[in-house]
Structure 1
Amino acid sequence: MAIEYIFVYGTLRKALATPMHDLLARHCHYVGEGTMTGRLYDLGDYPGAIESVHRDERVYGELYRLADPQLLALLDDYEGCTPAHAEPREYIRKAIPVILHDAPPVTAWVYLFNRDVAGLLRIGSGDYVDFIHSAHASKAYSDESF
């Protein structure tokens, strides 16, 4: 069975308006917001998600239906999980269940962080967009401090 969906939780989300999201939006159909079971970490300029055995640990993101399966090759390169990238690759693409807010769960491709998370800042909310916005708000507040 071919996987028809991709779940994105970081820089590919529409709220961040990156050029790669624009590419995703041109080649996919937005389905809705959803979650996967996992933990989210701050890697500096982007996040990394790993799977979790604890169902209450959630990573928030967006689900898209692939209109052009060839888009996966471009995204694999963007996420550094092609043979052109050194082992161990930073991400792997894996099919996992995604829970939607108002529909049955679906199996979707997700790029999972493929390295040790020891010492990384965990994003406890599981939502990278909220994390980015709160980090920018905190920085603006501290920049205005005397």
Structure 2
Amino acid sequence: MTDYLFLYGTLRKRYDLKLKDKVKKGWKYVGQAKIGAALYDIGKYPGAVKDRSGKEVIGDVFQVHDPANVFRVLDAYEGNEFVRKKGKVRMRKGGELNAWIYWYEPDPAGKAPIRHKDYLNYLKNKSIH
């Protein structure tokens, strides 16, 4: 069975993070997708919380070839605030996949909601203002 991983924050394809060098041989970029979630600014990274009200979060999907290494590295990076669970992602090019998603676990009350669906666009606009 193939493992897929949906990433919406600092692990995205266009975000420069040295940690990704440790897993680059263990995954392959598949394309953009979205999930039903609300996005929050946690500080140096975002947190997605499941949301059924129609809010969406855009991210990148990777096919994971070496799940033991990739998830060991990423689970440690995500820490205790996030839990990795499988969920449905809607691919931009059409269709759905069942992918691993890192959900933000603490109550996001008091955290700034990110109204942009895309964390990378949010960062660009944030640096302009």
**TM-score (ref. length: structure 1):** 0.83
Q: Equivalent pairs: percent with the same residue?
A: 33
Q: Which residue of 2 aligns with 1:48?
A: 47
Deviations 1:50-101 (A, max 9, x none): 11112x2101100000010111111111111xxxxxxxx3110010000001
Structure with larger Rg: 1
Give the CA RMSD over aligned residues.
1.3
Written as runs of structure 1 = structure 2, the 5 A alignment for 1:29-108 is 29-54=28-53, 56-70=54-68, 71-80=70-79, 89-108=80-99
- What SS does structure 1 have at the residue aligned with 2:62? strand
Q: Which residue of 2 aligns with 1:122?
A: 113
Report the Cα distance in structure 2 between the residues aligned to 1:9 and 1:74, rounded to whole angstroms: 17
Q: Which residue of 1 aligns with 2:103?
A: 112
Number of paired residues? 128
- What SS does structure 1 have at the residue aligned with 2:94? coil
Please list every run of 5 or more consecutive structure 1 residues that lacks an aligned counterpart in the other structure: 81-88, 139-146
**TM-score (ref. length: structure 2):** 0.93
Moved over 2 A (4+): 20-26
* Residue pair 1:11, 1:21 contacting (<8 A) in 2 also: no
